[in-house]
Amino acid sequence: MAVGTASAGPRATVSAWAPFGHSAFAVLWTATVLSNVGTWMHDVGAGWLMTELSPSPFVVAAVQAATTLPIFLFALLAGAVADIVDRRKLLIGVNAAMGVTAGALALLVSLDLMTPLGLILFTFLLGTGAAFMAPAWQAIVPSLVPRSELGPAIALNSMGINVSRAIGPALAGFLIVALGLAAPFALNALSFLGIIAALLWWRPPPRPAGDLPPEHVVPAVRAGLRYAWNSAPLKATLIRAAGFFAFASAYWAMLPLITRQVLDGGPTLYGLLLACVGGGAVAGALVLPRIKRKLGADRTVAAGSLGTALVLLLFALVPNPVVAGLASALAGLSWIAVLSSLHVSAQTALPDWVRARGLSIFLTVFFGAMAGGSLVWGQVASLAGIPAALIVAAAGAALFIPVTWRAKLGQGEALDLAPSMHWPAPVVAEDAPGERGPVMTQIAYEVAENDRSAFVALMQNLAEARRRNGAYHWSLMQDAERPERFLETWIEASWTEHLRHHERVTAADKALQEQVRALLRKGAAPQVTHLLSPAPALSEASRSDGRGEGQTKE
Secondary structure (3-state) at 278: helix
Domain boundaries, the chain: 14-205+213-414, 439-544
What local confidence, expressed as pLDDT, does residue 87 receive? Answer: 83
Q: What is the crossing angle of helices 182-201 and 150-179, to 10°?
A: 150
pTM check: above 0.85: no
What class has domain 439-544?
Answer: alpha beta
d(CA 69, CA 58): 15
Query: What sign for the dihedral angle of Cα 268, 272, 274, 278?
Result: positive
Phi, then psi, of 340 in degrees rounded to 5: -65, -45
Please report, as a single letter, which amino acid is at residue 45: G
Q: Which helix (H) or strand (E) holds 485?
A: strand 485-492
d(CA 30, CA 252): 26
- Three-class SS string for 514-549? HHHHHCECCCCCCEEEEEECCCHHHHHHHHHCCCCC
Q: Among residues 390, 366, 395, which one has the least CA distance to residue 376?
A: 390
CATH code of 14-205+213-414, in short, is 1.20.1250.20
Secondary structure (3-state) at 144: coil
Q: What is the DSSP string of 301-318?
A: HHHHHHHHHHHHHHHHH-
Secondary structure (3-state) at 405: coil
d(CA 168, CA 34): 9
- Strand 439-446 versus strand 472-478 pairing type: unpaired
What local confidence, expressed as pLDDT, does residue 54 receive? Answer: 77
d(CA 493, CA 532): 10
Phi, then psi, of 112 in degrees rounded to 5: 60, 40
**Positions in the chain short of pLDDT 50:** 1-12, 539, 541-542, 544, 546-554
Helix residue ranges per DSSP H, 349-413? 355-384, 386-403
Residue 42 buriedness (CB in 10 A; 0-12 / 13-18 / 19+)? buried
Are 14-205+213-414 and 439-544 equal in CATH topology? Answer: no
Cis upstream peptide for 387 (omega within 30°)? no
What local confidence, expressed as pLDDT, does residue 62 receive? Answer: 75
Cβ–Cβ under 8 Å, residues 314 and 324: yes
d(CA 109, CA 79): 33
> In angstroms, how far is the first alpha carbon of the chain from the final one?
66
Secondary structure (3-state) at 417: coil
* 240 Ramachandran zone, left/alpha/beta (phi>0; psi -120 to 50): alpha
